[in-house]
Amino acid sequence: VKLVNFSYYENVSAGEAGAVRVYEYNPIDGTTTLVWAGLSVDAAITALDFSTNPLTASEGNELLVMVMDTTSLTDAAGNFLEVSFIRE
């Protein structure tokens, strides 16, 4: 799997360093490894483009995209996370 880009809108309490994360998940041994982290943005459509240098997972593994919040994620109709990838 190659992660090409993702975009999100999350109503979090505030932007936070390292709160947008991509993990590689190994389903055989159940482990996760952080492969990328960046600043979260509160209540704004945010797009991250990895098309020139995609994030990749080893064969048989998966990539998990998460937006974390230390306080609370507001349940809002506009919240979304959209991921584009290439499956090989």
User: CA of 84: how far to CAs of 2, 13, 63, 69, 70, in Å?
Assistant: 9, 26, 11, 23, 26
Q: Report the predicted TM-score, pTM, of the whole model to 2 decimal places.
A: 0.87
pLDDT cut 90: percent of the chain above it: 58
Which whole number is the average pLDDT over 10-23? 85
Which whole number is the average pLDDT over 5-28? 89
Q: Nearest CA to 48 among 26, 76, 69, 22?
A: 22
